[in-house]
Amino acid sequence: MLKKRIQFRTKFNLNSILLQELFVQAGKLIKQSNKVLCISHRRPDGDTLGGSCALYHAMKELGKEVDMACIDDIPERYHFLADIRKNIKEFNYQDYDLIFVSDAGAMYMTRYHEVYPDIFSGKVPVINIDHHSSNDNFGTVNIVDINSASTTIVIYKLLTFLGVKISPNVATAILCGIYNDTGSLMHSNTTLEVFEVTGKMVELGGKYQLVAKNLFKTTPIQTMKVWGKAMERATMNEDGVVVSVVTQKDFEEENATSDALSGVVDFLNSVPGSKFTVLLNEDERGNVKGSFRTRRDDVDLAELAGKFGGGGHKKAAGFTMPGRLHQETRWKVSGGAIDNLLGNESKSLPNNTGKPQELLSNILQIPEVKVEA
């Protein structure tokens, strides 16, 4: 049973009537539920897994029967999260009376709509918790706070508002999301609120050293070698865009997976004088993933990623499209799934890049990326 609702003692942005109303709606669904499912997005990172893990233990605290689910394997670097290896891949969603989805900027990011087409139809209520401006509000209740640096901070606000006990396991999971999305408290989104929540989680028993060690201080040799390939190929074009490419062959040569690239784009983004960074890589499923990063305030990468069916934040965004990278004299992306998008006119970005065809050419130049059927 939910405890009496309390207000924040620190200066969190809970003055929003809408946000408070969403918390109340979520609280009603939680109170009515008995069996809860916590879903992470595909290719899971520390924020989505930290979010699911925090909700898992919080709901356990309330006496619920709870499962965690992710369609992909959980990377070993996150195995320190309590009970994270209990994640399941398959389930009957109708066995649950409440579903949480953490850090999924759009419904497709879970990939469960492909397996269970009616999972987000409303038959089972869904609480969608996120901090991406590109979120498509696929839930029954959509708690999307774009001012929060991580989804786990949004979850902290929700749990605190509802008076749910935050155990050391919950606190550690919340720290995992914070450290993941702020680059160990070093990115520009590391606000006063981030430090306040981080301090509170440490006070409540969160193991910040364990989080930092696993996310940023533990690097297998295979990962180092893959990072070396990404850095070796890094170039900066005449417009100040840093670009690099990693292929599936590179991963196979080093006995690594595409998860090994996690974090390398932030290192590439440290090049002085660069406008933003683009990292392209193949994955094991026949896709090409693009990751964007910038340190500048006058570049909107969420809008840029949106041109290719992706999304994210202003300073950190990405996209995924079916295809492969092939090197001729330069690089190109092959695969027809993006053709319709690239054939359409698009709104001009602040840097006047115009059509997506011109966008790819202007951004990537050396090595140039072309999209063809």
d(CA 105, CA 101): 10
CATH no., domain 221-372: 3.10.310.30
d(CA 33, CA 27): 10
d(CA 138, CA 121): 9
Asked if 99 and 58 touch (Cβ cutoff 8 Å), the reply is no
Write out 3-32 in H/E/C secondary structure.
CCCCCCCCCCCCCCHHHHHHHHHHHHHHHH
Asked if the peptide bond before residue 272 counts as cis, ω within 30 degrees of 0, the response is no
d(CA 321, CA 308): 8
Domain definitions of the chain by residue range: 17-216, 221-372
Q: Is the pTM of this model over 0.85?
A: no
Q: Is the dihedral of CA 94, 38, 112, 29 positive or negative?
A: positive
Q: What is the pLDDT of residue 363?
A: 53
What is the pLDDT tens value at each position of the chain, 373 positions in all? 444 333 333 334 444 778 889 999 999 999 999 999 999 999 999 999 999 999 999 999 999 999 999 999 999 999 999 999 999 999 999 999 999 999 999 999 999 999 999 999 999 999 999 999 889 999 999 999 999 999 999 999 999 999 999 999 999 999 999 999 999 998 889 999 999 999 999 999 999 999 999 998 888 899 999 999 999 999 998 889 999 999 999 999 999 988 888 889 988 999 999 999 999 999 888 889 999 999 998 999 988 888 888 888 888 889 988 888 876 545 566 554 434 333 333 333 334 344 444 455 455 553 444 444 3
How are beta strands 241-246 and 235-236 bridged, if at all?
antiparallel
Residue 240's CB is within 10 A of a number of other CB atoms, namely 12
Q: What is the pLDDT of residue 119?
A: 97
User: DSSP H helical segments within the chain, as ranges?
Assistant: 17-32, 46-61, 112-115, 151-162, 168-181, 192-203, 208-216, 221-232, 248-253, 264-268, 301-306, 339-342, 356-364
Which top CATH class is 17-216?
A: alpha beta
